[in-house]
Amino acid sequence: MSLRDILPARLPSWPPRDWRAFAALVFSVAGAVVLTAFVWWGVAQLLPAEGWTRASEVNRATTIRWTLWIAMGSIGLVLLGLGFAVTPRKLQGKSGDKSFNFEGGDTEREKADANVS
């Protein structure tokens, strides 16, 4: 039983490419919200109520470093999600005697067009 069988009236019958484009839109909006909240939090941490003193210099530098690392990681995840959503992709891996292979993207549409004609 698939999700379309459970909710047939609510899910549009979009082709996979449109679903990927929709996922890219969701990833970009969610990523922007998370990054905005994170930057607000980071700035709040960097601007304490008592002001900056010489004693807080190490804490400031540590907070700036962690804020930038987490922001960079978040941006990377958003871009990775967008890349998986809108481009052809191939992911392979092997661990010992087990392996996996995932493929998808625009090649699905080309195969579907070839089957129709």
Query: pLDDT by residue (tens digit) across 67-84?
Result: 888 888 888 887 777 777
pLDDT at position 17 is 77
Close Cβ partners of 38 (under 8 Å, ≥ 6 residues apart): 67, 70, 71, 74
Domain range annotation of the chain: 15-86, 88-117
| Span between the terminal Cα atoms of the chain, in Å | 30
Among candidate residues 106, 111, 90, 78, the one with its CA nearest the CA of residue 20:
106
Q: Is the pLDDT score of 108 beyond 60?
A: no
pTM: 0.48
